[in-house]
Structure 1
Amino acid sequence: GLPDTFTGEQRFDISKPADDCWNNAQHQWGNQGCVAISPDKGTLGTPFNDNGGGVFALEWDPEYRRIRSWAFSPHGEVPDNLVAALDTANAKDPADRVVPDTDTWGSPYGYFAIGETTGCSADHFRDMRLVLNLAFCGNVSGNRYFGDCPAEAKEFKVKNDPVMSCNKFIESEPEALSEAYWKIRGAYVYQREMES
């Protein structure tokens, strides 16, 4: 789905395929890039926290020419194979580690074809980094302000613009961010063994 321009809420009755990973592609929603947001409720914000968090997974696989992503919340939704892989990730003997099998995890909420026959060449993705960002009022998160923070939005509304209103709230009430943090149990990177 695509975010509604005014509310930031995802609308799954409309869709627009992203065939260009550049975030300023002229024929795509502004800043679309390769964004994907799960249609499941509870994969971000207060509902995510109320569920006790969850697990996010991303598969970047040039061999199979795809990038796929999943969000599992609450923890009871995490596939057995992924639970076993996470539980055994630090086993001293590699033979005791469970290998993640993403094909057993169900449908991903994001799927991007990469490679020669697509608009996103596999070479475009390299030297990847994991970035954790508390973006409060950016293009995507700021557009969610009216829906996610209705009481604050009424008090700090600026020109019916969610991003400007969010910024005004942040500037006026910095103490409201004292509880903004990530609680991360772990970050795991798995790589396919290369065949010789």
Structure 2
Amino acid sequence: MRTSRLLLRFGASLFCAAGITSATYVIEDIYDTDNFFDSFNFYTGGDPTAGFVKYVGAVTANDSSLAGYSSGAVYLGVDHKTRNPTGGRDSVRLASNKAYTKGLFIADIAHMPNGICGVWGAFWTFGPNWPSSGEIDIIEGVNMQATDSITLHTSPGCTLGSTGSLPTSNLSNTNCNTGNGNDGCSFSTANTEAFGTGFNAIGGGIYAMEWTSSAIKVYFFPRYSIPADITAGHPDPTRWGMPMASFSGSGCDIDSHFGQHAIVFDITFCGQWAGNVWSSSPCASKAPTCNAYVAQNPAAFTGAYWLINSVKVYQE
């Protein structure tokens, strides 16, 4: 892995010297089937979102086939066999050992767990002493949502606008502070191919999050239209057009509100979001409560899994 990084950096210098192009970003880390489980740790504490879930460690996840490899990719799933599990359904939450401040994060994902009643799956980053170091929710949604939410959570004093985002995305709140009844600043997206069943039907795609001192942007590219510069390993966000979400503006010093983020994948059930909106969702006809449905219907969660080809982190 170290050799490949050196080659890529040397290659970028050659391109610049030849006058062909000047790479904005160079590869920092690659997480895939070669090193994913050596580079991420399993969280086994209680769910901070009060979900009906038990996060298990590496040994249990391996023995129960909740984490491993499938179809040449990293598999992260949930227990879909046990009826009425005590205290919650077994699942996994993994965070990278390495922390990052700014950069370009490109995740090639073939399948996500979302679009299923009771499920709350997320791909996100966060820093220490939450929320003082910020949180960036890149993929997130609950129950049978057809589109996802992209959200920032911060300590007080961070207000960001939506300049430069796709017009089909809606920023519902500009105050990113998480507290006093406020739940961060959040975009509602409109592309059904970017989330849940629509995403899985096309074989997934690429999510890219660019984090700089001036903006935090999230892009999505379906499997059939991934930019050539990403495929070539020389990503150039200036060529990608408008992102699904772009948080920017003078109302927030991004550098003071975001830092030292771990990369996280998780799957939880019910809790403060999926559970709280259960009665107003189409899922309400399946069971009186979210917890009851999750407990009594293990086979419903056969498709609740992440299939991750790679996560690549680039730095300027």
TM-score by length of 1: 0.64
Deviation at 1:182, TM superposition (A): 0.8
CA contact (8 A) 2:145 2:196 kept: no
Equivalent residue letter for 1:132: F
Gaps of 5+ in 1: 1-6, 86-97, 159-164
CA contact (8 A) 1:20 1:119 kept: no
Residues 50/172 of structure 1: CA separation in 2 closer, same or farther (3 Å cut) = same
CA contact (8 A) 1:42 1:48 kept: yes
Higher RCO (C-alpha under 8 Å, 6+ residues apart): 2
Equivalent residue letter for 2:175: D
Is residue 130 from structure 1 mapped to residue 260 from structure 2 by the alignment?
Answer: no
Is residue 105 from structure 1 mapped to residue 253 from structure 2 by the alignment?
Answer: no
CA contact (8 A) 1:67 1:112 kept: yes
Give the whole-Å Cα distance in 1 for the aligned partners of 2:294 and 2:236.
Answer: 42
Deviation at 1:80, TM superposition (A): 2.1
Equivalent residue letter for 2:236: D
2:285 to 133, 137, 154: 154
Equivalent residue letter for 2:224: G
CA contact (8 A) 2:172 2:188 kept: no
CA RMSD of aligned residues (A): 3.2
Deviation at 1:191, TM superposition (A): 0.3
Aligned positions, number:
154
TM-score by length of 2: 0.42
Deviation at 1:112, TM superposition (A): 0.8
Give the whole-Å Cα distance in 1 for the aligned partners of 2:168 and 2:229.
Answer: 32
Which residue does the alignment assign to 1:171? 295
Residues 42/113 of structure 1: CA separation in 2 closer, same or farther (3 Å cut) = same
Which residue does the alignment assign to 2:198? 47
Give the whole-Å Cα distance in 1 for the aligned partners of 2:311 and 2:279.
Answer: 28
The alignment partner of 2:308 has SS state of coil
Which residue does the alignment assign to 1:20? 175
CA contact (8 A) 2:215 2:254 kept: no
Gaps of 5+ in 2: 1-143, 148-166
> After superposition, what is the alpha-carbon deviation per residue over 1:15-35, rounded to whole angstroms, capped at 9, x for unaligned?
455332223365xxx52x143
> After superposition, what is the alpha-carbon deviation per residue over 1:70-108, rounded to whole angstroms, capped at 9, x for unaligned?
1222x11222222222xxxxxxxxxxxx2x111111110
CA contact (8 A) 1:21 1:120 kept: no
Give the whole-Å Cα distance in 2 for the aligned partners of 1:145 and 1:45.
Answer: 20
Higher helix share: 1
Residues 77/177 of structure 1: CA separation in 2 closer, same or farther (3 Å cut) = same
Q: In percent, how many aligned pairs have the same letter? A: 28
Higher strand share: 2
The alignment partner of 1:82 has SS state of helix
Deviation at 1:181, TM superposition (A): 1.3
Equivalent residue letter for 2:217: R
CA contact (8 A) 2:218 2:244 kept: yes
Deviation at 1:44, TM superposition (A): 1.1
